[in-house]
């Protein structure tokens, strides 16, 4: 979250307003497959008064995969930035293995002591041992049921491969992946300006 707040601050200096989407609220009452999420996110955004010059959808990792579904449904977006989002697994065995791994994460999100779960999650190499923010951790703990559900509903293993559909996205879309967060923030700020 702190990385996104920093990016929002950088964008604000350029007169670009941002709004973080609470992904977990979409899973409060029921399971929501990714294509349905795309429709709901678009409807949510269409009902909101734009606070900036453009409506630009930005998504990272799972949020980027969800954003791809929203973009394929159309929506009010004028541009998009998709960061480190896999458009889908083509290999059935790989998808099955991912579903299994994500089911384990879902179970742990529900059953482990929350600080232990976050420590284990953040210890993954790809996350580089992210530092805990106690305030954010408490907010996430209140959403642990929805977070667990997201591991199943929004698992990369359950996602239909979108590779062949990406060309249907008709708005300018910047797809990036990298390790340098400062560089990523600069790329996003340059794209949305």
pLDDT for 92 equals: 97
> Please, what's the b/e burial string for 147-163 (b: 16 or more CB within 10 A of its CB; e: otherwise)?
bbbbbbbbbbbbbeebe
pLDDT tens column, 20-37: 888 999 999 999 999 999
pTM for the whole structure: 0.86
Q: Mean per-residue pLDDT for 157-175?
A: 94
Q: Confidence band (pLDDT; 50, 70, 90) for 125?
A: confident
pLDDT tens column, 36-69: 999 999 999 887 766 666 788 889 899 999 999 9
Segments making up each domain of the chain, as ranges: 1-88+160-193, 91-158
pLDDT for 36 equals: 95
| Cα distance between residue 168 and residue 71, in whole Å | 9
Per-residue pLDDT at 10 exceeds 80: no
DSSP string computed for 73-94: T--S-SEEEEES-------HHH
């Amino acid at each position: 979250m702190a990385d996104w707040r920093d990016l929002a601050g950088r964008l604000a200096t350029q007169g670009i307003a941002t709004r973080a989407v609470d992904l977990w609220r979409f899973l409060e009452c029921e399971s929501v497959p990714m294509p349905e999420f795309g429709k709901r996110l678009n409807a949510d955004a269409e009902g909101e008064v734009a606070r900036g010059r453009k409506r630009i959808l930005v998504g990272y990792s799972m949020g980027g995969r969800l954003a791809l579904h929203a973009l394929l449904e159309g929506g009010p977006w004028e541009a998009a930035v998709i960061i480190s989002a896999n458009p889908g697994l083509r290999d059935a065995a790989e998808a099955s293995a991912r579903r299994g791994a994500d089911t384990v994460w879902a179970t742990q999100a529900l059953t482990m002591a929350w600080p232990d779960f976050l420590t284990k999650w953040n210890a993954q190499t790809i996350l580089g041992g992210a530092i805990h923010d106690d305030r954010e951790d408490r907010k996430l703990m209140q959403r642990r049921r929805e977070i667990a559900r997201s591991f199943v509903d929004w698992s990369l293993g359950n996602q239909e491969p979108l590779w062949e559909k990406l060309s249907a996205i008709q708005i300018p879309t910047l797809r990036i992946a990298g390790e340098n967060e400062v560089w990523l923030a600069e790329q996003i700020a340059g794209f949305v300006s």
